Structure 1
Amino acid sequence: MKINFKIISPLLLSLTIFSCQSGNEENKTIVSTHPKLEEELERNSVDVPVSPNDTSDLYNRYRITMQEYEGSGNYAVNDLYIGRLAPLDEESHADALKYRTAINEGLKDGVNFAGQYTVVTVGCGTSCQTHYVVDRESGQVLDKVESNVGAQFSKNSRLFVVNPPDSTINYNECSYCTPQAYVFENGKFRKL
C-alpha cells in the first residue's frame, strides 16, 4: 500500500492552520456566538438562585442548639478506658447475634464514644443507619439508636447527635432528617 504524500501534506497543513485559528476563539462562549440565545437569556435570567424551600433558618437553629450542647461541658468524659477490649457478647442484645459480623468489624475501631464504648454503625436500608453502643469492658451491646443522615459523637463526650445539622438538607422536605441530641447515661440513651 502506497501513501500519497502529495494529498496528505496539504490536508495536514490545512488541519494545522484550522486548529491554530480555533485556539483564538477560546474566550468565546456559546452565548457570544448565538445572538438570539444571548437575548433570550438576558430576558429570562435571575441574579440569585431561586430556592422555594430555603431552610437556612432551620439549619442555623439546629446548628446553634447542637453547638450549645457541645459547648456546655455537661457531657465531657475525662477518664478513657485503657484496659483489654472485650469481644462482643452475642447474648447481650437481640441484634448482637443477627449483626455479629458487622458489629465485630466495627469493634476494630476501638473506643470511640463516651470514654469506654464503641459505636458501631450498621445500615438498615436507604437513608437508615442503626448505631449500636458496645461496652468495651464487658463486650455487651447496651443500647441502639437510629438515624437517617448519620451521627456525630466522640470518645471524650457522652453527647450523641443523630442527624447532625447539615446546610445541604432541605428540612421542609425531609421530616425524618431533624437533628436530635441524646446523652448516654447508665447504659442507655436519653433524648435531650
Structure 2
Amino acid sequence: MNTINNIHYRPMQPEDFAAVLQLGNLVHGEGYLTPELLQQYFERGLAQQQNASFVAYAEAQLVGFRLAFAAGQWQLDQWCSPQLWPVPPEKVAYFKCNTVSPAQQGGGIGGQLLQLSIQALQQQGAIAGLAHLWQQSPGNAAVKYFSRHGGVLIKEHPDKWRAESLAGYACVRCGFDCHCSAAEMILLFPVQS
C-alpha cells in the first residue's frame, strides 16, 4: 500500500466494490456502475499477476478509484479510432474511469491513481492507454486533466453515452437522454528502462 499525503493507495479488491459503486454513481450519475458491470471491469484489469485498477482511502473512507483494463481485455467499438492511434491496438490498455470524491478533487488523487494504473498496465505489457473523456465535465476538467498527464486528442464523439442513458443511466448533466460528447484520447506510456 502506498501512502501519500495521508491518502492510502492500493489495488482494488472485491471488498471495495460497495464503496466504489456508491462513489461512482454519486459522481457520474445513478446507474453508471452496477455490481455486474463492476465485477466485469475488475476482471478486465487483471493480467500478468497485476491489477490495473486502484483505490484511494483517507482513513476508512474511499475518496477515489481508477478502473483500467489490460490491453487485449476490452472491446473496440464504434467510439474507437484505432486507425488514428500511433501504436498497435493490441498494445493499448483502456482507462474506464477516474473518480475522486467531490470534496477531495484537485488534490492530486486522480493523478496518483493514473500513475499507479500506468505502472501496472506497463507490467502487463501495454505501451499506451485510451480513454473517452467527458467533455461536458465542469470546465472541461476531465480533458484538461488527461491532457496535463500527456493525453492526446484523437477524435471527438457526440452522444457517446446516449444508449446507456436510454437504458437507465442517469447522466448528472442530461438525465436519461444524454447528449454529452466524449474526447477519445490516447496516452503513450513512458519507455521503461
Higher-strand-fraction structure: 2
Range of TM-score over shorter length: under 0.3
Taking structure 1 as the reference length, what is the TM-score of the superposition? 0.25
Specify which structure has the bigger relative contact order, considering alpha-carbon pairs within 8 angstroms and separated by 6 or more residues.
2
